[in-house]
Amino acid sequence: MFKKNTNKKVVENNKIKKIPTPNHKAEKKRFHNEWINVYPCYLPLEAIHFWKDNNRTIFTFERLCRLKRKEKLEDIPLDDIIRFVAEQDVHKIETLADSIARNGVQVPLIIRDDGKLLDGNRRYFACHWLKMTSEKPPESLSKIPVQVIRKADLDKEETLERKILAEANFIPDLKIPWPLDAQARAVDEYYRQFKQRNKVDHEAAIVEVTSVFGINTQRANDLMESLALTKEFIKEGASEDEKIRRRAIVEEKFVYFWEFRNKAMKGRGAYEDTDDLNEVKTMFFQMMAKGPDNPIKNVKQVEPLVQAKRDPMAWKILQESKGQKVNLVVSVMNEKKEVRKSEDKIRLFLAWLKDVDDLTPQAKKYLSEISELAAKKSKDGSR
Select, from the ranges 32-41, 51-60, 102-111, the one with the highest average predicted confidence (pLDDT): 102-111
* pTM: predicted TM-score of the whole model, two decimal places: 0.58
Q: Model confidence over 105-121: pLDDT tens digits?
A: 988 999 888 888 888 88
Closest CA to 334 of 310, 297, 307: 307
- Indicate the average pLDDT of the chain: 83
Query: In Å, how far are 8, 170, 211 from 36, measured between CA atoms?
Result: 26, 19, 18
Domain map of the chain by residue range?
3-157, 240-333, 345-381
Strand partners, 53: none
pLDDT at 222 over 90: yes
362 pLDDT tier (thresholds 50, 70, 90) = confident
Which pLDDT belongs to residue 174? 34
Distances 115 to 28, 136, 175, 178, 267 between C-alpha atoms, Å: 19, 26, 22, 22, 46
Task: Tell me what pLDDT residue 277 has.
Answer: 95
Reported as a pLDDT band with limits 50, 70 and 90, residue 173 is very low
Residues 286, 311: contact at Cβ < 8 Å?
no
The beta-strand segments (E) located in 171-242 are none
Grade residue 372 by pLDDT with cuts at 50, 70 and 90: confident
Give yes or no for residue 213 having a pLDDT over 90: no
